[in-house]
């Protein structure tokens, strides 16, 4: 990696490690950790931070899923059942991002997450 300085590698190691632990613990990509740190610490702009975070998530989710497979926790059929429609969702989401108010999306998303949190604890 000739273009990445030693200092930058250490910074990426720090952010990556935090995101990795978070990803392993919660089954998420870790973007919620990486995006703000890339912006606030490394000075990325918001869109570059989200795009670069997604590239890191490819590697993180592959490593996390492989490790979980060794524990025998992976349900491949269920993963495909939600993962394949989600690929269509990504294309829809990037299209929508250009056309719908982010405030409306954020508000609806917050309502959905709150309902899910309640249901998860009560279930």
Partner 1 sequence: MIVEAALIGLAAGAVSGMLGVGGGILFVPALVLVLGLSQVDGEATSLLAILPVAIVGTWRQQRYGNVRLVEGLLMGALAAAGTVGGVALVNVLPAHVVKIGFAVLLLFTAFQMIRRALVPDAEPKPEEAGS
The whole-angstrom separation of Cα 113 and Cα 107 is: 10
**40 binds partner 1 per the rule CB under 8 A:** no
Contact set for partner 1, span 7-36 (CB under 8 A): 8-9, 12-13, 15-32, 34-35
**43 binds partner 1 per the rule CB under 8 A:** no
| Residue 40 or 92 with smaller CB distance to partner 1 | 92
Least separation in angstroms between residue 40's CB and partner 1 is: 14
Least separation in angstroms between residue 109's CB and partner 1 is: 5
Out of 6, 7, 43, 123, which residue is the one contacting partner 1 (CB under 8 A)? Answer: 123
Show the site string, 49-68: x = touches partner 1 by CB under 8 A, - = not. xxxxxxxxxxxxxxxxx-xx
**110 binds partner 1 per the rule CB under 8 A:** yes
> Which residue from 23, 18, 11, 17 is spatially nearest to 57, judged by alpha carbons?
23
Cα-based angle 85, 86, 92 (whole degrees, multiple of 5) = 100
Q: How far is CA 94 from CA 21, 41, 49, in A?
A: 28, 26, 15
Q: 65: how many CB neighbours lie within 10 A of its CB?
A: 14
């Amino acid at each position: 990696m000739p273009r990445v300085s030693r200092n930058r590698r250490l910074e990426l190691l720090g952010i990556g490690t935090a995101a990795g632990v978070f990803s392993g613990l919660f089954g998420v990509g870790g973007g919620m950790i990486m995006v703000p740190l890339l912006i606030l610490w490394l000075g990325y702009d918001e869109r570059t931070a989200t795009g670069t975070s997604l590239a890191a998530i490819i590697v993180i989710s592959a490593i996390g899923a492989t490790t979980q497979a060794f524990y025998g926790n992976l349900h491949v059929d269920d993963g495909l059942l939600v993962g394949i429609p989600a690929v269509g969702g990504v294309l829809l989401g990037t299209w929508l991002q250009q056309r719908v108010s982010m405030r409306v999306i954020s508000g609806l998303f917050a309502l959905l997450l709150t309902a899910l949190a309640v249901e998860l604890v009560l279930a």
